[in-house]
Amino acid sequence: MTSEQTERGLDLFRHGDFPIYTLTFARNLAPAELLSRMGVDGATVAMRDPVDMSDDFGDDLYDDEEPVVRAGTTGAWAWAWEEGGVHGLDARILRGVSAGTEVVALHYNEKPMYAFAYAVEGDVVTTFDTLMAVSPEGSDPKRLAQHMRRAGLVAGEWAELYGVLALVEDAFGIRFTREQLNDEPRLSGRLRPLPE
**Are 61 and 53 within 8 A, CB to CB?**
yes
Place 125 in a pLDDT band, splitting at 50, 70 and 90.
Answer: very high
pLDDT for residue 193 is more than 60? yes
- From residue 90, alpha-carbon distances to 16, 29, 168, 193 in Å are 25, 19, 18, 11
Using one digit for the tens of pLDDT, what is the confidence trace for 126-146?
999 999 999 999 999 999 999
Return the amino acid letter for 26.
Answer: A
Residue 144 maps to a domain: no
Structural domain total, the chain: 1
Residue 6 maps to a domain: no
pLDDT for residue 162 is more than 70? yes
**What pLDDT is stored for residue 30 in this prediction?**
98
Q: 169-183 burial string, b = 16+ CB within 10 Å, else e? A: bbbbebbbeeeeeee
Phi/psi for 110 (5° steps) reads -80, 10
**What pLDDT is stored for residue 154 in this prediction?**
96
Residue 79 maps to a domain: yes
| Extended strands (E) in the chain | 21-27, 46-48, 68-74, 77-82, 102-109, 113-120, 123-129, 186-190
* Dihedral sign of CA atoms 176, 83, 190, 61 in order: negative
Residue 139 maps to a domain: no
Entry field: residues in the chain? 196
- The residue range of the domain holding 73 is 19-133+175-190
State the Cα–Cα distance between residues 160 and 175, nearest whole angstrom. Answer: 19
| Chain centroid to CA 140 | 20
Place 3 in a pLDDT band, splitting at 50, 70 and 90.
Answer: very low
Return the amino acid letter for 41.
Answer: D
State the Cα–Cα distance between residues 17 and 3, nearest whole angstrom. Answer: 18
Q: Which residues face 73 on adjacent strands? A: 78
Residue 28 maps to a domain: yes
Place 83 in a pLDDT band, splitting at 50, 70 and 90.
Answer: confident
Using one digit for the tens of pLDDT, what is the confidence trace for 22-79?
999 999 999 999 999 999 999 999 999 989 999 999 988 888 899 999 999 999 999 9
State the Cα–Cα distance between residues 174 and 75, nearest whole angstrom. Answer: 8
pLDDT for residue 4 is more than 50? no
- From residue 65, alpha-carbon distances to 41, 105, 161, 183 in Å are 13, 18, 27, 26
Residue 108 maps to a domain: yes
Residue 157 maps to a domain: no
Residue 122 maps to a domain: yes
